[in-house]
Amino acid sequence: MEHRWRNQLHTLADVSEGRPMKLTSKARLELWAERLDREPQRCLSTLGEIELASPSERPCMRSDNSPLTVAFEDPVLRAIGLKSDNFGDAVSFFDLTEGDAHYILCSCMNGSTMTAAQAAQRVRSITNRTTELRVLLSCLVGALAVLGIKMLLG
């Protein structure tokens, strides 16, 4: 095998810089759950008492070997933008509410440890609930539109 520099490869093939994949927040959450399911019995640490941390402390919260560590260990999630295994980066990257992140990660909800399978189940429950809420909101908007049209037409 012959070594060639990147600028030399252009004469042999079309070479382009890869663009990061763009995934929906639901797809990112599903990818996280899949990563957790790879080692379902792995014992993970939760984040301690998220609700007691001040709003300025929460974004920096992390724990070694947490469900967020599993996400950050994944090269695909890092390549598409996961910056670290801290609470703030996860909330932003996975498009979670703080309440959803609290449900998945906090020690008051899960004890000091949880299995990766339990964490995956909680992540999936968020994706399912998000889908259900969107469907419900779409139906509500549709019903209001129908009522509005009926009122306009008299």
Q: Would you state the pLDDT for residue 55?
A: 92
Contact 36, 120 (CB under 8 A): yes
Q: Which residue has the higher pLDDT, 110 or 75?
A: 75
Q: Would you state the pLDDT for residue 3?
A: 67
Q: Would you state the pLDDT for residue 145?
A: 63
Contact 66, 104 (CB under 8 A): no
Mean pLDDT of 20-27: 82
Q: Dump pLDDT digits (tens) for 28-62.
A: 999 999 999 999 999 999 999 999 999 999 999 99
118 pLDDT higher than 70? yes
Q: Binning pLDDT at 50, 70 and 90, where does residue 141 land? A: low
132 pLDDT higher than 60? no
Instruction: Specify the pTM.
Output: 0.71
Which residues are paired to 44 by β-bridges?
114
Q: Would you state the pLDDT for residue 149?
A: 72
**What is the full DSSP assignment across 7-74?**
HHHTTTS---PPPPP---HHHHHHHHHHHHHTSTT-EEEPBTTGGGS-TTTGGG---TTSHHHHHHH-
Our CA angle for 67, 34, 22, nearest 5°, is 95
Q: Would you state the pLDDT for residue 101?
A: 93
20 pLDDT higher than 90? no
